[in-house]
Structure 1
């Protein structure tokens, strides 16, 4: 799980480190997944490879296009960006044109809700609106079925999981640490957080430890 490809705080990974991570995955035979491939792997044990990862970015920062995207293309990597609906085209965030370009080259655009509010502080109806409105937006914008949602700030409750299923998502991802497993529930999947200061070899050891 990445956020910004830059420097400055614990959610930002510098481009040089990010490239070292992608190079390690490439050199060690890892295959990157689309959300659909991840769903089939979790539900039907259909693994394209024994070494698979779903690369994700939360929030949809401009540097995902400017800095991460060229690296992903260089190494032939797929990735998923969880975009905030109302942040499209805003300062430091991706534009519709940038997302559409990336979508033509293996980058999936999925939901991070409309307003990026902490869902566990909302009523069940408000949670459903946040999820349904963003799904409708991305379904229309990308002529797709938006299938996976990332809960803002990792905040969720039981009503969140019910709302994700009710509004038509197949999966929901959290910020709970660790590798995703069907045993966690398809709407409470864990992710591996990548922090700054991690070399390619340290990243590799971290990924291997999740097996």
Structure 2
């Protein structure tokens, strides 16, 4: 009896197991992303491993941000670096001349210029010093300028004497021109030799801003510096001299009488500055109007000149005539400097409203120029 009960119980368990097996549904494996079942006997596929992942981004530098906001394909971001330099990057135009470069200042130090390498900055390499007379050259639309400094003692020890060359008219005749203005006419062959020498001998060409800061003892200028100017903006300047200036890439200043002509600069290497608006005339006593007018009249005339030229900065006195009233009128109009015809060189502490010159007359060849500027 007991055996029959045991067999019956085992049979019941088997029936129950069959029922459970029938009820339990085993899911079939499918290929991820397709829903297709995996074939019998094949290994289960792994999950895809090429899911997108976040890529970390590097923040743009200040120079890159400037470029990103510019639509000019010739834009070049200039970064300024060096001890004590906090000037932010600025956009310049590649292939053009630099514009409005900063002139840093620091207590107890004298700014000695910008250079394209740290090595040139440390060596004060005059031929590699950068200012607004130099063209912008970039790599991948960026360039870095390195600052250098001198001590006030080093600046004084240089004892720099900066010549301002003064030309007037030009002639193609080796024998010169006739008449009482004969001395004013430089032979264009001599002028070509002068500019070739300045360009090839590593001279530094200071801007007027730099010259003013040099006089104040804030900017170092090497003795191997020169400023080239022309008085009157005569037609021979445009026709003969300006092409030579452009050929040798020598920055010059043309002092223009704006009541007489208002021509645009003939090329990027010619700066237009004031020779007054309409004071290049004789006054009642035979002296120029700049010494026969009130300070208010002089200031009004120079304001008119500035409205034409778009800049103040420096004026060349007509006939070289000036006095204290003249200087007051010039300062009242907001000009920093006045250039005379008195012979001499500009040094630290020179009178900014009585800058001397080195006059170039007919017959002065290359040897004469070398004697003037070294």
Q: Does 1:40 align with 2:203?
A: no
What pairs up with 1:49-198 in 2 under 5 angstroms? 49-88=222-261, 96-97=263-264, 99=265, 101-102=266-267, 105-115=268-278, 116-117=280-281, 118=288, 119-139=290-310, 145-198=311-364
Structure 1 stretches lacking a partner, 5+ long: 89-94, 140-144
Alignment length, in residue pairs? 193
Kindly report the root-mean-square deviation, in angstroms, between the aligned alpha carbons of the 2 structures: 1.8
Q: Residues 54-97 of structure 1, C-alpha deviation per residue, up to 9 Å, x if partnerless?
A: 11111111221221111112222000011001111xxxxxx524
Distance 2:298 2:257 in 1: 14
Residue 25 of structure 1 and its aligned partner are, at CA, apart by 1.7
2-structure distance, mates of 1:163, 1:182: 24
- 2:276 is paired with a residue of what secondary structure? coil
Note if 1:19 corresponds to 2:192.
yes
Structure 1 residue 10 and structure 2 residue 10: aligned?
no
CA deviation digits over 1:163-204, x for unaligned, max 9?
A: 111101011110010112343311111111111111112210
CA distance in 1: counterparts of 2:263 and 2:373, whole angstroms: 32
Shift of 1:35: 2.0
Distance 1:27 1:15, change over 3 A: same
Larger Rg: 2
C-alpha distance in 2, partners of 1:126/1:58? 22
Give the number of the structure with larger relative contact order, counting CA–CA contacts within 8 Å between residues 6 or more apart: 1
CA distance in 1, matches of 2:210, 2:167: 20
- Tell me the TM-score normalised to structure 2 length: 0.49
| Rounded Cα–Cα distance in structure 2 between residues aligned with 1:168 and 1:125 | 12
Normalised by the length of structure 1, the TM-score is: 0.84
Deviations 1:73-132 (A, max 9, x none): 2222000011001111xxxxxx524x2x42xx1211010001113111223332222222
